[in-house]
Structure 1
Amino acid sequence: MSVVWNYFKINESNVRMADCKLCPAKISRGGSKISSFNTSNLIKHLKMKHKAEYGEFVEASNSNAGRSTQQLTLQETFSRREKMARENPRAVKITEALSQFIVLDDQPLSLVDNMGFRRFINILEPRYEIPSRRYITDVMLPKIHDAVKKHISSMLQKDMKAISFTTDIWSSSVSPVSLISLTAQWVDGDFTLQQVMLHAKKFQGSHTGQAIATMLEEMFETWAIPKSSVHVVVRDNAKNMIKGMEDAGLPSISCVAHTLQLAVSEGLLSQRSIADAVGVGRKIIGHFKHSNLAYSRLQDIQIQLGQPVKRLQQDVPTRWNSTFYMLQSLIEQKRAFGVYASEYELPVTISANQWNLMEKVLNILAPFEELTRQMSSSDAFASDVIPSVTVVQTVLSDMAGEDQGIGTMRNTLLAALQRRFIDTEQNPLYGIATLLDPRYKERFFSNAENARHMKELLMLKLQKNAEETLTSLSGQPSAKRPRSDQPSTRLDSVFEKIAGDFPSTSGTNAPTAANIQLDTYLGEITAPRSDKPLQYWAVNKIRFSALAEMAQIYLSAPCSSVESERLFSSASNILTDSRNRLLADHAEMLLFLKKNLPLALEKFD
């Protein structure tokens, strides 16, 4: 567009005229058709009436003309066509982003060879030369890995006082590779929970206890983590894993999710009548899973009955809650199955007695499903175990008068639960953590003696650290606040009932500063269960400095090894059928970056 239009605008009522912005004049655009319009009259008006502005116009026009007619040199022309050097700052940035994209989104390394991806990048930046798969694997990933590892190492060294770990062993179904994991979590000085993955190391040979101990010691040595900094290692209930912890001299606790799996399987699902009903349901769902025609017919029936179209859940024998979800999906589609059986053939039929049994099993397992879901969250602590087991046992006991038909199931399950968690309240890793959780304190121990014993152990640890300066205790305790949150589930209501009115076990012989601090803390109302315990200690770490230091240690422990299991879920996305020849070292590198790169991304931006 001509520079002259800086001084004119098209007339709103007549496009053949232009209005001067400098005076009221209306100037013809030189024709009656758009194709004949020109700017000659506008320039002439500017020259005759506005000489200063005309001079600006001439200067601007000459400048634009010089730029538009200036030809590129031969060197500039070739530079616009040639590829950027690999060391070019923009190329380095793109290559880093490409490598991060492969890691974070589980993309195969062969992505850089794909025609569609190469065309896409060529349109975005024609001068960028996509690096080879080998360059990404041998240069870029190790470079990023080293940077992230250095960042994680600095985080660990900063908060090396007490770190908790999870570990597990996983074998790939698509390649002959076994990995042993090591994840770490701790509470930093701001009472923020930090979680990192340290290893998913190749595990060759027999998985004996001694071999596990050796692998763990090597992994701790790699990160310069002394055993004195290991608060606890959460592992499964396998004998070789327990032996490995003993041989390595590491404190450990069982994964509560695995323990619940054993309790439910042994105490309920192993009963003959229930196992038969579950087996029948499994066959029916298997029929629909293997027949698209049968599934299509079932969906048509669901629509006819006005029911939502849902996929049926298939259970996994090693996960009792998957059996719960399978039975739940069967009950939801009971009417649809009835109609289907009247029109088409099923491999087996569910009797009225089995339908009734399934409903009772769902009723009795509902608290366990809720508990398992809560315990499997990433912010569940070891302090949740004792209260949760106490509440579930209370719920089961309250079921005694509900339905005589579930009496045997309830008693068997309650006995299995008590047997599997019999030593929990005597374990300081659980007991002291529960005392230091402001939502629970001493309210959820099964008897006052267990609570008193844990309090004495906590007092001994506080006295051991008595040389450190304690916060002045002259201030008044924080105001007790009313509970505004309403229990939403059966478990929640029992939690509220137990926490609400409890005779305190406070009161010690020697009125030391630590005693006063502990008694003041225990004497206050418990926090709502929906609160975050670490947030409480972030606010009260000055008021209860000695207790806060202990909370930073004991609330670092998770209650399950779910973090390791989540890690191996990512591993199954990396070691796939299309990447079954991926080396274990490369798989570990990809897993390490997948989990930890988000913590260090700002260093790359």
Structure 2
Amino acid sequence: MSAVWKHFTLETPKSKTATCNVCKAVVQRGGSTAATFNTTNLIKHLKKHHTTEHQDFIAARQNDERSRQETLLESFQKQGKLPHDNVKAKGITEKLLNFIVLDDQPLSVVENEGFRSLVEHLQPRYNLPSRKYLSETALPELYHRVSGKLADKLRGVTSLSFTTDIWTSDVCPMSLISLTVHWVKPDTYSLCSAVLQVKQCRGSHNRATIAASITDSLNHWEIPLENVHVILRDNASNMKAAMEDMAVPSLGCLAHSLQLVVHEGLMSQRSVSDALANSRKIVGHFKHSQLAQSRLEDLQREMQGAGATTTSARLVQDVQTRWNSSFYMIKSLLKEKRTLCAYAADHNLPATLSANEWCLLEKTVTVLEPFEELTRKISCATSTAADVIPSVTVLKRLLTIEEDNDSGIKTMKSTLLQAVSRRFSSIESEPLYAVATLVDARYKDSGETARMAKDLLTQELEKVQQAVLRESADEAEPAEKVPCIEAGLSSTSKSSFSSLYDRILEEHDEPAASTQTAVIQMQMYLKEPTITEKDSPFQYWANNHARFPLLGAVAAKFLSAPSTSVESERLFSTASNIVDEKRNRLTAERAEMLIFLKKNLPKFK
């Protein structure tokens, strides 16, 4: 007990105030409950009003501290290292592994002299685990714990969408095939995603190898093929064929299709492609020459003015497999047009842009602006298959509008329109796109094929209704059979015609009610106004699924599908950071665990 209580009295042990024995003042004990009471206010009262008593308290407290001596065991334990099974040591090891996984650190970081010195300074009693322990024990344990939590989340979800892609390392002979899963929580209607598996893809990347790898991953996670709503993949023939062999629905990546469309449009007009080629030469010159870059930065600062504080803008080098990088390259050149012209007046460049080419680049940026905006929209985490049909419709209409300043790019614009129409000719008849658009409250039946979409939606609603009826029938107890008595006659007295007629009515009773319920819900839903484009369709269904339970179930299924396979491509950006020059001997098994944990650990801690 604190020595301060020599100078204070409590009315009851749970009193919120204490009475000073010297001046009889009532002092608050601090806190709101007995568990949070403290003596701070009491000590301050003595120090402020009763100096002699405060000095007595200080002396008594010091005597109490000196009187309690550490035991020999306590003293020894403070000097020794923490055992591996110690709670504190386990916590530090877990945080160390999180640091390695989330920050793309090599497992050998525990052998680095600087890192060991840092840990020794922060916690001298902690014994750093070896690289072998982290690799063979701690990492697999964390992997199995996180994968178990993910399996619990997926259990009971009957409609799952997937994205897949293949990545080949530049620093070692390793190819990985990814499978990411997307689903909508049935209770909160929030969109969820996770890396399901990153698996080594050995041998040729043919249809059989891809199909076998994805099937093995699904079997590993105990996901039946009937729960696969759709798999988003690239447009390569081997991927298409693999999905056909698996007999699962699949769709091409919208971003890949846009890449092909824009590439076709840019290459269709010689003057535009020549301007792009010259642009690449100019940007490449500054990327490969430090002297040229320094001169350009000096010119930028000079033209900005003496008092300018903004940093010099860097030119963007494009990657021909990413059309939007060409868009950003052109924009960076247009932004530095005056500076580049001034540079060309005093220094040599491998290529120059004429006034006509500058004008063509400006017009090209204007035409490609909607494509860039659409690419950003469909690449976000909340984009779904419902965005495809409305986005393509908007693109077509924009490309059909003739502008006065189209001279010089008419061929490119016309080719873009033809490419969009050709490559997306079947999207409105694709059931996955049509139904997804209809159940998205931002779009509903605004498409040109609304009637077909409504028929498809009605079929999906009937499937949900039948599943609900089957579940209800399975859960209900069988009714006791009672002889049918009608007008004093037993059921055996009825004619065969009457008995068959009654049986036919019974057969069609529930499906008729099912269809009627489904149609009524759909009509009520479609009559309501659409929400704005900025509103979330998931939030809409979270608020309205109780009103439209059948539609809500269909929405959870169809809105789980993304519009692109971007998630898998982003995954391999992580893979290139993990399997790099410093870790080119990393085994495929360890790489799979590190990639899996990098993406899933923040979600399933």
TM range (shorter): 0.7 to 0.9
Q: For the Cα contact (< 8 Å) 1:267–1:415, is it kept in 2?
A: no
* SS class of match (1:318): coil
| Count of aligned residue pairs for this structure pair | 514
Per-residue CA deviations over 1:422-452 (Å, capped at 9, x if unaligned) read 0100100101000111101111x2x3xx221
- Asked if structure 1 preserves the Cα contact closer than 8 Å seen for 2:253 and 2:565, the reply is yes
Alpha-carbon distance between aligned partners in 2 of 1:219 and 1:469, rounded to the nearest angstrom: 30
Cα deviation for residue 591 of structure 1 reads: 0.6
CA contact (8 A) 1:178 1:203 kept: yes
**Counterparts in 2 of 1:1-20, with a 5 A limit?**
none
Residues 511 and 466 of structure 1: CA distance in aligned 2, closer, same or farther (over 3 Å): closer
Cα distance in structure 2, aligned partners of 1:157 and 1:469: 18
Check the 8 A contact 1:284/1:347 in 2, yes or no. yes
Q: Which of 196, 200, 204 is 2:202 aligned to?
A: 204
Q: How does 1:588-603 map to 2 (within 5 A)?
A: 588-601=592-605
Once residues 121 and 343 of structure 1 are traced to their aligned partners in structure 2, the CA distance between those partners, rounded to angstroms, is 55
Deviation string for 1:208-265 (max 9, x for gaps)?
0111001111010000000000000000001111111111112100000000001111
Task: String of CA shifts for 1:407-435, please: whole Å, max 9, x gaps.
Answer: 22211110001111001001001010001
Q: Quick one: distance in 2 between partners of 1:248 and 1:188?
A: 26
State the partner residue of 1:369.
372
Partner deviation per Cα, 1:58-105 (whole Å, 9 max, x = no partner): 687366336336654444333221101111111111111111111112
Match of 2:333 among 308, 324, 330: 330
Verify: 1:583 aligned to 2:582, yes or no: no
CA distance in 1, matches of 2:111, 2:465: 63
Query: Counterpart in 1 of 2:387?
Result: 384
Unaligned runs of 5+ in 2: 8-20, 24-45, 470-513
Equivalent residue number for residue 421 of structure 2: 418
Q: Give the corresponding residue for 1:456.
A: 455
Which amino acid letter does the alignment assign opposite residue 584 of structure 1? A
For the structure 1 residues 390 and 126, does the alpha-carbon distance in structure 2 shift closer, same or farther, using more than 3 Å as the test?
same
DSSP-derived class of the 1:152 partner: helix
Aligned mate of 1:263, from 261, 264, 271: 261
**Do residues 536 (structure 1) and 540 (structure 2) align?**
yes
| Separation (CA, whole Å) in 1 of partners of 2:350 and 2:444 | 54
Amino acid paired to 1:182: L
Give 2:289's match in structure 1, choosing from 277, 291, 310: 291
Sort the Cα spacing of 1:179 and 1:467 in 2 relative to 1 into closer, same or farther, 3 A.
closer
Quote the Cα distance in structure 2 between the aligned partners of 1:469 and 1:212.
Answer: 35
Question: 2:107 is matched with which residue: 106, 109, 112?
Answer: 109
Deviates more, 1:399-408 or 1:571-580: 399-408
Counterparts of 2:129 and 2:467, CA distance in 1: 56
**1:275-330: per-residue Cα shift (whole Å, max 9, x none)?**
21111100110000011111111111112222852111000010000011111111
Structure 2 counterpart of 1:565: 569
Distance 1:427 1:123, change over 3 A: same
Q: What are the superposed Cα offsets for residues 553-584 of structure 1, whole Å, 9 maximum, x if unpaired?
A: 00000000010011101111111111111111
Distance (Å, rounded) in 2 between the aligned partners of 1:146 and 1:465 = 35
* Counterpart pick for 1:183 among 157, 180, 183: 180
1:172 counterpart = 2:162: no
Q: Give 1:466-545 correspondences, 5 Å limit.
A: 466-467=465-466, 512-545=516-549
For residues 527 and 580 of structure 1, the distance between their equivalents in structure 2, rounded to whole angstroms, comes to 50
1:359 equivalenced with 2:362 (yes/no): yes
C-alpha contact (below 8 Å) 2:464/2:553 kept by paired residues? no
Q: Which residue of 2 aligns with 1:500?
A: none
Alpha-carbon shift at residue 271 of structure 1 (Å):
3.3
Amino acid at match of 1:234: L
Q: Which residue of 2 aligns with 1:279?
A: 277
What pairs with 1:299-314 in structure 2 (closer than 5 Å)?
Answer: 299-306=297-304, 309-314=312-317
Q: Tell me which residue corresponds to 2:487.
A: none
Cα distance in structure 2, aligned partners of 1:592 and 1:511? 44
Looking at structure 1, the residues matched to 210 and 351 of structure 2 have their Cα atoms a distance apart, in angstroms, of 45
RMSD: 2.4
Aligned residue type for 1:532? S
Residue 348 in structure 1 maps to residue 351 in structure 2:
yes
Q: 1:339 to 1:511 in 2, by over 3 A?
A: same
Deviation at residue 552 of structure 1 after TM alignment: 0.6
Contact 2:255 2:378 in 1 (8 A): yes
Amino acid at match of 1:200: V
CA drift at 1:272: 2.5
Quote the Cα distance in structure 2 between the aligned partners of 1:73 and 1:58.
28
Kept in 2, the 8 Å contact 1:400–1:407? The answer is no
Is residue 197–residue 595 contact of structure 1 (8 Å, CA) maintained in 2? yes
| SS of residue in 2 equivalent to 1:403 | coil
Q: Which amino acid aligns with 2:271?
A: S
| Cα distance in 2, alignment partners of residues 144 and 242 from structure 1 | 35
Counterpart CA distance in 1 for 2:61 and 2:541 is 68
Amino acid at match of 1:206: S
Is the Cα–Cα contact under 8 Å of residues 165 and 179 in structure 2 kept in the other structure?
A: yes
1:52-67 aligned within 5 A: 61=59, 64-65=62-63, 67=65
Q: Distance in 2 between matches of 1:141 and 1:118?
A: 20
Deviation at 1:143, TM superposition (A): 0.6
Partner of 2:132: 134
Percent identity (aligned): 48
Taking structure 2 as the reference length, the TM-score comes to: 0.81
Question: Residue 402 of structure 2: SS of its match in structure 1?
Answer: helix
Q: Which runs of 5+ in 1 are unaligned?
A: 8-20, 24-45, 471-509
Question: Given residue 598 of structure 2, which amino acid in structure 1 is its aligned partner?
Answer: K
* Contact 2:316–2:329 (Cα < 8 Å) also in 1: yes
- Greater alpha carbon shift after TM alignment, 175-184 vs 113-122: 113-122
Paired with 2:302 and 2:405, the residues of 1 have a C-alpha distance of 35
Q: Shift in Å at residue 351 of structure 1?
A: 1.6
Q: Tell me the amino acid that sits aligned with residue 278 of structure 1.
A: L
2:123: which partner in 1? Answer: 125
Distance in 2, Cα, partners of 1:260 & 1:144: 39
Query: CA–CA distance in 1 between the matches of 2:60 and 2:118?
Result: 40
CA displacement at 1:588 relative to structure 2: 0.6
Equivalent-residue separation in structure 1 for 2:568 and 2:455 (angstroms): 34
SS in 1 for 2:585: coil
1:558 match: secondary structure: coil
Query: What corresponds to 1:404 in structure 2?
Result: 407
Return closer, same or farther for 1:178/1:469 CA change in 2, 3 Å cut-off: closer
Residue 514 of structure 1, CA deviation: 1.6
Structure 2 vs 1, CA of residues 63 and 356 (structure 1 numbering), >3 Å: closer, same or farther?
Answer: closer
